[in-house]
C-alpha cells in the first residue's frame, strides 16, 4: 500500500507529517511522490493565510476525478484548516470524495481514524488538548531533526488563527524531550531544532526554556541546537546568557517583529514596542557579536497607514536582518482583525510590499557580501538540491552554503572559506 502526504505551512506541520509517516510505516505503508499512484492521499493543511487554504481546496477539488476512477483510494485532510468549523463543514457538504478529516488534536488517533474510514466517512474534530507521547516518527535521514517541545499559543495576536486551531500553550515534559534527543543522537542525528509556536515560553515541571536548552546542550554527540519561533516578549536575560554561553546553540534567532509602528504593534496585540524589540537585538549583538537575525513582517494590517508602514522600513534599516519572511495581511475568520476596515487599498498594500522587498533585498545582499573572505563553520546537511555535485549546509548563523565535499562527510562540521555570495546563498571551499 502506498501513501502520498502533502504538507503545507510551518515546521510544526512538517513535524506532524513525520508522525503520520511513522504511524503509516508501522501499518505497512510505503510512500510515493505522485498522488496518482497512491492508495492513500493525505493533505496536512495550514490556516495562517487564505492563499494556503485556497491551494489546498484547489488540489483536493482536482482529486475528484481520480477518486471516481479509483473508488478504493482513500483521501484524507488534516491539520489547522480542519480545526476551523466553517471549513470542515464545507468539506462535509461540497467535497464528498474526501473520506476522512481530522484536526490538530486528533493526530495520535490517526490509525483508528484510518481504519474506520475504510467503512464510513470520518470527521474527528475533537479539541482535547492532551499531549500524547510515544507516537512513532519517521524522519528524514540524519543529520537534522525537528523536535516539538511545546504546542499551541496563548498570545492571540489580532490577525492570527493559530490560537484557535492549535489550542492553548502546553509543554512536553523535559524528560520526554531529553530522552527523544538522546535517542536521535544515538541514531546519528547531529542537529536538533526545537519547535513551538512560542518556543521560548516553554515551561514544564518547573523547568524554563533556558534551563531546558542548558540540559539539551549537555547531550554528548549532539553538535548543534536551534529553536523556532521565539516571541520578543519572552526573550529573557537568562535566555540571552544561555545563547551566549552554550557553544552548541546556533547564533541565529528568528524573531518576528511583524510591524515597525508602535500603534500597529499595539493594535496587533504583540506586547512590545519597536524600541523594545530593537533593544533586544542590540543586547544580543553586544553579548553575542556574531549573532544573525531573521524576522517575519506583515504588510497591510488594517489599521496601518502609509506613514506607519514607513516605520517598518525604518526598523528594517536599523535591525539589518539577514532575511525576512514577509506577508500581506490576510483576514482570518474568527480573529479580532477579521472585520477591521482597512486604511489602505489593496493596490497601496501591494506597492508597500514591493517597496519593502526591494529594501530588504538590498540589505540581505549587503549582509551576504560581507561573508565573502570569512571562514564559516558549516554543518554538512546533504547534496545541494540544485546541483547534486555539490554539498549544502548551513553556517551557525543559518546562511546556506554550497561547496564541494565527499558524501561521507554529511553530518560533520567543517570550516568553509566563503568565496562568493548571492542574496540568499553563499559559496565556498572546505579548508582542510
Residue 250 touches ligand SF4, criterion: CB under 6 A: no
In whole angstroms, give the CA distance from residue 111 to residue 21. Answer: 11
Would you say 144 and 185 are in contact if contact means Cβ atoms under 8 Å apart? no
Shorter beta-carbon distance to ligand SAH: residue 160 or 192: 160
Name residues contacting ligand SAH, limited to 181-210 (CB under 6 A): 197-198
In the bound complex, what is the minimum distance in angstroms from residue 157's beta carbon to ligand SF4?
Answer: 3
Out of ligand SF4, ligand SAH, none, which partner does residue 312 contact, by CB within 5 to 8 A per kind? none
CA distance 311 to 270: 16
Of the pair 22, 336, the CB lying nearest ligand SF4 is at 336
Residue 156 contact, options ligand SAH, ligand SF4, none, Cβ 5-8 Å cut-off depending on partner type: ligand SF4
| Contact by Cβ (8 Å): 75, 41 | yes
Nearer to ligand SAH, 231 or 367 (CB): 231
Q: How many residues at the interface with ligand SF4, by CB under 6 A?
A: 10
- Asked if 15 touches ligand SAH (CB under 6 A), the answer is no
Tracing cell 515534559 back to the chain, one arrives at: 173
Q: From the centroid of its chain, how far is CA 404?
A: 28
Residue 197 touches ligand SF4, criterion: CB under 6 A: yes
Which of 135, 155, 330, 361 is the binder for ligand SF4 (CB under 6 A)?
A: 155
Least spacing, CB of residue 302 vs ligand SAH, in Å: 10
CA angle 148–149–151, rounded 5-degree value: 80
Contact 417, 375 (CB under 8 A): yes
Residue with smaller CB distance to ligand SF4, 144 or 153: 153
CB closer to ligand SF4 out of 162 and 380: 162
One-character DSSP codes across 336-394: TTTTPPPSS-HHHHHHHHHHHHHHHHHHHHHHHHTTTT-EEEEEEEEE-SS-TTSEEEE
List, in order, residues 6 or more apart from 14 with CB less than 8 Å away.
7, 146
Q: Which stretch binds ligand SAH (CB under 6 A): 66-74, 177-185, 277-285, 322-330?
A: 322-330
329: contact with ligand SAH by CB under 6 A:
yes
Q: How far apart are CA 351 and CA 114, in angstroms?
A: 46
By rule CB under 6 A, what count of residues binds ligand SAH? 17
C-alpha cell at 10: 510551518
> Which residues inside 18-57 make contact with ligand SAH, applying CB under 6 A?
48-49
Shortest reach from residue 148's CB to ligand SF4, in Å: 14
Partner from ligand SF4, ligand SAH, none contacting 332, C-beta within 5 to 8 A by type: ligand SAH
Q: What is the DSSP letter of 258?
A: B
Of the chain, the end-to-end C-alpha distance in Å amounts to: 47
Whole-angstrom distance, CA of residue 244 vs CA of residue 251: 8
107-136 footprint of ligand SF4 as x/- string (CB under 6 A): ------------------------------
* Number of other CB atoms surrounding residue 356 within 10 Å: 18
Catalog residues that contact ligand SAH under the rule CB under 6 A: 48-49, 159-160, 162, 197-198, 229, 231, 256, 258, 296, 298, 327, 329-330, 332
Catalog residues that contact ligand SF4 under the rule CB under 6 A: 153, 155-157, 160, 162-163, 197-198, 231
Amino acid at each position: 500500500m502506498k501513501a502520498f502526504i502533502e504538507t503545507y505551512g510551518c515546521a510544526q506541520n512538517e513535524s506532524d507529517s513525520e508522525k503520520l509517516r511513522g504511524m503509516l510505516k508501522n501499518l505497512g505503508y510505503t510512500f510515493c511522490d505522485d498522488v496518482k499512484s497512491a492508495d492513500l492521499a493525505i493533505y496536512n493543511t495550514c490556516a495562517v493565510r487564505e492563499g494556503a487554504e485556497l491551494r489546498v481546496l484547489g488540489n483536493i477539488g482536482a482529486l475528484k476525478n481520480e477518486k471516481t476512477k479509483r473508488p478504493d483510494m482513500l483521501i484524507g485532510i488534516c491539520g489547522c484548516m480542519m480545526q476551523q468549523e466553517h471549513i470542515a463543514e464545507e468539506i462535509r457538504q461540497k467535497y464528498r470524495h474526501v473520506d476522512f478529516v481530522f484536526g490538530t488534536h486528533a493526530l495520535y488517533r490517526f490509525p483508528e481514524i484510518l481504519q474506520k474510514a475504510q467503512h464510513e466517512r470520518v470527521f474527528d474534530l475533537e479539541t482535547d488538548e492532551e499531549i500524547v507521547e510515544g507516537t512513532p516518527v519517521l524522519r528524514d535521514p540524519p543529520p537534522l531533526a525537528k523536535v516539538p517541545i511545546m504546542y499551541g499559543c496563548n498570545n492571540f495576536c489580532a490577525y492570527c488563527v493559530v490560537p484557535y486551531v492549535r489550542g492553548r500553550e502546553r509543554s512536553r515534559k523535559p524528560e520526554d524531550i531529553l530522552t527523544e534527543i538522546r535517542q536521535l543522537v544515538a541514531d546519528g542525528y547531529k542537529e536538533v531544532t526545537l519547535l513551538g509556536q512560542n518556543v521560548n515560553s516553554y515551561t514544564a515541571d518547573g523547568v524554563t526554556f533556558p534551563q531546558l536548552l542548558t540540559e539539551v546542550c549537555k547531550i554528548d554527540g549532539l553538535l548543534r541546537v536551534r529553536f523556532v519561533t521565539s516571541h520578543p516578549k519572552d526573550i529573557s536575560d537568562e535566555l540571552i546568557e544561555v545563547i551566549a554561553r552554550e557553544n552548541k546553540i546556533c547564533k541565529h534567532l528568528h524573531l518576528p517583529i511583524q510591524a515597525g509602528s508602535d500603534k500597529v504593534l499595539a493594535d496587533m496585540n504583540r506586547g512590545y514596542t519597536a524600541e523594545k524589540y530593537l533593544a533586544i537585538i542590540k543586547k544580543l549583538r553586544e553579548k553575542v557579536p556574531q549573532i544573525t537575525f531573521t524576522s517575519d513582517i506583515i504588510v497591510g494590517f488594517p489599521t496601518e497607514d502609509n506613514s506607519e508602514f514607513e516605520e517598518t522600513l525604518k526598523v528594517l534599516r536599523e535591525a539589518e536582518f539577514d532575511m525576512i519572511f514577509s506577508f500581506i495581511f490576510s483576514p482570518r475568520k474568527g480573529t479580532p482583525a477579521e472585520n477591521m476596515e482597512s486604511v489602505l487599498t489593496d493596490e497601496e498594500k501591494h506597492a508597500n510590499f514591493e517597496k519593502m522587498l526591494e529594501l530588504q533585498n538590498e540589505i540581505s545582499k549587503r549582509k551576504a557580501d560581507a561573508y565573502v573572505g570569512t571562514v564559516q563553520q558549516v554543518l554538512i546537511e546533504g547534496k545541494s538540491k540544485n546541483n547534486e555535485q555539490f554539498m549544502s549546509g548551513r553556517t551557525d548563523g543559518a546562511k546556506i552554503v554550497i561547496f564541494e565535499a565527499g558524501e561521507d562527510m554529511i553530518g560533520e562540521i567543517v570550516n568553509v572559506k566563503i568565496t562568493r555570495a548571492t542574496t540568499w546563498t553563499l559559496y565556498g571551499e572546505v579548508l582542510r
